[in-house]
Amino acid sequence: MAEPRWSKIGRDLLAHKIRTLLTVLSIAIGVFAILVVIGGRGMLVESFDSNFPRSVPANATLYTSDFGEELVRAVARQPGVRAADGRRSTVMRFRLGDLRGVEEPPAGVTVAERSRSIEIVSAGDWASSEVERAFADEGVPWPPGPGEVVIERSATQEVDIAQGDSITVDAGDGELRVLRVVGFAHDINAFPAMFSGRLRGFVSMGELTDLRQPEAYNQLVVSMDRADLTRDEASRFAAHLRDDVLAPRGVAVYGMNVPKPNSHFLGDIFRAVALLLLALGIMALLLSGFLVVNTVSALVTQQVRQVGVMKAIGGRSSQIMWMYLALVAAYGVLALLVGLPTGGWWAGWFARFGGGLLNFGDAPATAPGYAIALAIAVGLLVPLAAAYFPIRTGTRISVVNALTRTGMSSAKFGHGFIDRVLGLVRGLPRPVALGLRNTFLRKGRLVMTLVTLTLASTVVMSVMSVRSSMLKTVDDVAAWWSYDVEVSYQQPVNRAAVEREILSTPGVTGAESWILHGASLARPDGSENDAPSVIGLPPASTFIKPRLVEGRWLRPGDVGLVVINTDIANDEGLRIGDTRTFTVRGRELEWRVVGIVQGQMMGSLVFTDREYLSRALGEEGAVGRTVVRTTDTSDAGQRLAGDRLEARLKSAGFVVSGVRTQRGMSTTLANELGILVTFLIVMAVILAAVGIIGLSGTMIINVLESTREIGVMRAVGASHGSIFQVFVTEGVVIGVLSWAFGAVFTYPVSLGLVLLLEKAITIPLSYEFSWSGVLAWLLVVAGISAVASLLPAFRASQVSVRDAIAYE
């Protein structure tokens, strides 16, 4: 038999099952949050750290005219180059299934048969590729054999595609080719399909002839030796390759991409999410600490007489303090039993989910040891730290004081300001008035509970505002582009010819064609910015609604004058009147900035007059994209129009590389932002759960402490129903108060969150306060707090006069 003082701990745990449950749950939530946040993040980082360097990310990618293996070897021999590889990449249209000999389905009949874009990539030998390596799953032929394609894993985010399926590719010559999907590969450097809206398929070089492509590379990926390479150095080196290695061999460079060395393009989003989650973890921890303080101080107060008796029969303060600390530690251990497995599971889920979204690759099976150790520490230390002072105070009480406590609550009523205000509220039903009075009776606990619920309410309502801000951002971005469908071509096409086809397609009300190319901007220090795209369009275009920040928009007849967006203006410190040299399709062009427009999620853009640009490039009449307005602007309508346009252009012999609808693009953007919102919602839900557990815990304690009063009320004739009403009122009042306080904080907190996200993902976001979110939460919180008080209120209503008298 255990020593009785330790038995007492176990019995006390069992004697108050609901209180134990609530306390354990509130600690478990802290453990859970820490494990999911720190552990899940750690698992993601682990998978990233093992998969990203293993892929040997490129320090520079050059988009070029055709070249062969000997150039790759020449580049690889350059001092400072660790490895170089050639690739051929073409974007094609495909449909799922083997559609050879199948009648062309009427456009838009079934969504499943709509065509999509796939980037077909081939390398000399995928298995021995040394830069931006992709890794095929177990048992998948690598490199793929003739007639075979291996699909990048993230495709499953977008399309229902499996091993053994076939895809029918349109190589642009009017003949369809079927590729068999022999499995999946992971390419950490590929933009996940969910964001790019297109798939990536790996084929062997030999397959290219069959796809009507020259058996030559058009991309050069280069990895450098030095680990401490800066972006500028990499950029200068890429320019050196272009000018001194590729140009002498007659290879033209159309564009370059030099990422920040050793950083992943989704790193910013990942960091933003990790930051938010960390904030969530810390907040959940804080709140669970509050709840522990609340429960433990109530417990010690409730047992004050037992403390007195134990001291009277020889218990020292320290012995008694250890008993209660052991009780709290027992709560902690129970919480760990709940929190560790669930937290571990969800950390794994989170790592898989996040890893899938970000395409980081396989996550390790378990959370890292430090995260588990931290979670254990949190489960034991946070409650002990939170409980230490209430317990110390409670067990140091003198024996006389402890023994002469009556058990009636000693809180004073009738003095404070709030009490007087409440006294003025007349005409309320008696139980409701009593419920109100009770709410303010136990002020310390009320404050703790309110803080907890207010924090939760603030986060919930702020998340609603962040969500509406994200939606507004999507709308604002969409508002820029005043068209329904955009069609891109594999090669520049003749404007008059395509527009004739497009305008005679049913459902099309207007069309305009643009020139679209990558451009590279030479910096004074010799490095280059290859991020910008240049768009040549008619100055009077009504298909775009630019928001002018400074200067003027394009005018017909402008020569060598451009309008840039804020992205490039900020990156390069460009002002109105500045002149810079841009390289477009191998030609150096001097451009002067006459206007700056607001950039919005489309990267660095330079706008110029279409006629001027086509002349300057010597490609008169050639365009790369047509933007189209349609009669039906709904999602389905735009897709239908897209399908019709594609079919029409194909039959007229144009090779279409992509068809995107305005709503589809909004969805892609919304998806990207949606990840953040999803994580925020998870965060809000967890905090709301903590708040609700806190509220029910408080109500349970209140009922316990009021047992005697309830008995007295019953003795003087209060009905079960009215006692019930007293406690439900109390709960709802607390809930609604937390809503009111939370609503006050919602504006600054949500604005702060939006600004934080904006910084983290380097995308300008719009802000919109969500009134509907605030109203909705009022209803929800009132409902939830009513529900949270049901059980305590029911227990209260069941208190009999006899219980109250027997109660010690």
Partner 1 sequence: MHASVHRSLEGTHEHVARRSHGRPLIELSSLVKVYDTGEVPFTALKGIDLVVDEGEFVGLIGKSGSGKTTLINMITGIDRPSSGQVVVDGTPVHALGENALAAWRGRTIGVVFQFFQLLPTLTVVENVMLPMDFCNVHAVRERESYAMALLEQVEMVDQAHKLPAALSGGQQQRVAIARALANDPPILAADEPTGNLDSTTAEAVFGLFEKLVRQGKTIVMVTHDDDLAARVTRALHVRDGEIVEETRSPLKGSGQGHG
Contacts of 306 (CB under 8 A, 6+ apart): none
Taking CB under 8 A as the criterion, the residue among 82, 212, 240, 305 binding partner 1 is 305
Closest CA to 164 of 92, 97, 211: 97
Stretch that binds partner 1, among 7-15, 167-175, 468-476, 631-639 (CB under 8 A): 7-15
391 near partner 1, judged by CB under 8 A? no
CA distance 535 to 605: 7
Comparison of 772 and 800: residue with beta carbon closer to partner 1: 800
Contact 78, 244 (CB under 8 A): no
- The secondary structure of 78-119, three-state, reads CCCEEEEEEEEEEEEEEEECCCCCCCCCCCCCCHHHCCEEEE
Taking CB under 8 A as the criterion, the residue among 54, 77, 271, 316 binding partner 1 is 316
Taking CB under 8 A as the criterion, the residue among 227, 313, 365, 424 binding partner 1 is 313
12 near partner 1, judged by CB under 8 A? yes
CA distance 479 to 626: 18
Comparison of 227 and 313: residue with beta carbon closer to partner 1: 313
Comparison of 108 and 407: residue with beta carbon closer to partner 1: 407
Q: Nearest approach, Cβ of 803 to partner 1 (angstroms)?
A: 11
Stretch that binds partner 1, among 312-320, 336-344, 564-572, 741-749 (CB under 8 A): 312-320
Check residue 66 and report its DSSP letter: E
CA distance 638 to 666: 12
Q: Nearest approach, Cβ of 393 to partner 1 (angstroms)?
A: 14
Comparison of 16 and 467: residue with beta carbon closer to partner 1: 16
Using omega within 30 degrees of 0 as the cis cutoff, is the peptide bond preceding 364 cis? no
Contacts of 748 (CB under 8 A, 6+ apart): none
Tokens of 544: 């775009």
Taking CB under 8 A as the criterion, the residue among 15, 559, 744, 805 binding partner 1 is 15
Size of the site for partner 1 (CB under 8 A): 29
CA 49, 54, 58, 63: dihedral to nearest 10 degrees?
A: -120
Stretch that binds partner 1, among 314-322, 348-356, 409-417, 744-752 (CB under 8 A): 314-322
Stretch that binds partner 1, among 173-181, 395-403, 561-569, 621-629 (CB under 8 A): 395-403
Contacts of 573 (CB under 8 A, 6+ apart): none
Taking CB under 8 A as the criterion, the residue among 263, 398, 491, 581 binding partner 1 is 398
337 near partner 1, judged by CB under 8 A? no
319 near partner 1, judged by CB under 8 A? yes
Taking each helix axis from N to C end, the angle separating 317-358 and 40-54, rounded to the nearest 10 degrees, works out to 40
CA distance 130 to 86: 10
Stretch that binds partner 1, among 4-12, 104-112, 201-209, 673-681 (CB under 8 A): 4-12
Residue count (the chain): 808
CA distance 94 to 170: 6
Stretch that binds partner 1, among 223-231, 302-310, 363-371, 596-604 (CB under 8 A): 302-310
Taking CB under 8 A as the criterion, the residue among 76, 176, 399, 665 binding partner 1 is 399
808 near partner 1, judged by CB under 8 A? yes
CB atoms inside a 10 Å sphere around CB 537: 22
x/- binding map, residues 341-380, to partner 1, per CB under 8 A? ----------------------------------------
Comparison of 308 and 356: residue with beta carbon closer to partner 1: 308
312 near partner 1, judged by CB under 8 A? yes
Comparison of 3 and 228: residue with beta carbon closer to partner 1: 3
Closest CA to 732 of 469, 435, 296, 321: 435
Beta strand pairing call for 605-609 and 533-537: parallel
CA distance 160 to 175: 25
CB atoms inside a 10 Å sphere around CB 663: 19
CA distance 220 to 87: 6
Stretch that binds partner 1, among 330-338, 399-407, 528-536, 775-783 (CB under 8 A): 399-407
Q: Nearest approach, Cβ of 399 to partner 1 (angstroms)?
A: 4
Comparison of 317 and 533: residue with beta carbon closer to partner 1: 317
Q: Nearest approach, Cβ of 808 to partner 1 (angstroms)?
A: 7
Taking CB under 8 A as the criterion, the residue among 5, 231, 405, 523 binding partner 1 is 5
Taking CB under 8 A as the criterion, the residue among 88, 311, 650, 660 binding partner 1 is 311
CA distance 107 to 404: 87
Comparison of 248 and 314: residue with beta carbon closer to partner 1: 314
CA 535, 539, 545, 551: dihedral to nearest 10 degrees?
A: 90
Tokens of 25: 């749950």
8 near partner 1, judged by CB under 8 A? yes
Comparison of 396 and 592: residue with beta carbon closer to partner 1: 396
Taking CB under 8 A as the criterion, the residue among 164, 248, 314, 618 binding partner 1 is 314
Compute the radius of gyration of the chain from its Cα atoms.
34
Taking CB under 8 A as the criterion, the residue among 315, 492, 624, 731 binding partner 1 is 315
4 near partner 1, judged by CB under 8 A? yes
Chain position carrying tokens 């293993």: 54
Stretch that binds partner 1, among 119-127, 309-317, 487-495, 666-674 (CB under 8 A): 309-317
Question: DSSP secondary structure string, 674-708?
Answer: HHHHHHHHHHHHHHHHHHHHHHHHHHHHHHHHTHH
317 near partner 1, judged by CB under 8 A? yes
Binding site for partner 1 (CB under 8 A): 1, 3-5, 7-8, 11-12, 15, 305-306, 309-319, 396, 398-400, 403, 806, 808
